[in-house]
Structure 1
Amino acid sequence: VTKSRDVTEFDFSIDPSPYICEQWWRVAVIPSAEARRGGETVTFRDALEQYTLSNKKIKEIVLKKLCHGWNLEELKKKLIALVRSTGYENSINVTYNRINYKIAARSSSTLSHFANSTL
């Protein structure tokens, strides 16, 4: 029986925040599958209006921060090449982990509080 497992020989992280603009410049609305099938276009204003006018007791709108214009695949290749230049020959895995990139706004109803509680 042969088993394999990953062993982390080194681990490092890079904080790209100094290279990312602090202000947003674009908001995109991802329409639901139903809206896409119907060819409907939803603006950010429409999405906020639908959320605020909805009488549903449990509702949520989520904003996600994304970095556009970064060629992450090319960056991965460059990082691997940099590590290889040291003579390292083992397997290399590069991952990009996002932290604190989501903001969720939920209804203030008691039912919503209960549904989203972590008890």
Structure 2
Amino acid sequence: MTRGVLDMLTVIEYSLIENGMEWVKREIRQRCGAAGIEYSKAKWRGFWDYFQRTWLELYDRRVRRPVRERIQLPAPVDIPADIVDDSDDDEPTAVEMVSDGSTNEEGKANDENEEELFL
């Protein structure tokens, strides 16, 4: 992910975290779509659950405030207050594709001879 999206949450005021999270979610979806990158709602939902538990519930606002002189601040962004979170709907955003890799789900080589190449 490019600078200025997810890292935005490290520099906005604590009271704006909820709106900031919605802005970041929207930006990630838009940038993935523009770049032709698959956006996995399930994986991002897992990340946001982790983010909520770790950085909003486990640690308080004092822990996440580094000294401002020691960090590079991204350019300010206007975060609209009327952002609607649509990341929890059940509409699929991408089709799962079959892997063309040479390993199966357990990470083992599909061809026994392939293992000899690595010895």
Shared fold (TM-score, shorter chain, > 0.5): no
Higher helix share: 2
Length-normalised TM-score, structure 2: 0.24
Kindly name which structure, 1 or 2, has the bigger radius of gyration based on alpha carbons: 1
Larger RCO, structures 1/2 (Cα 8 Å, 6+ apart)? 2
Higher percent of residues as strand: 1
Structure 1-normalised TM-score? 0.24
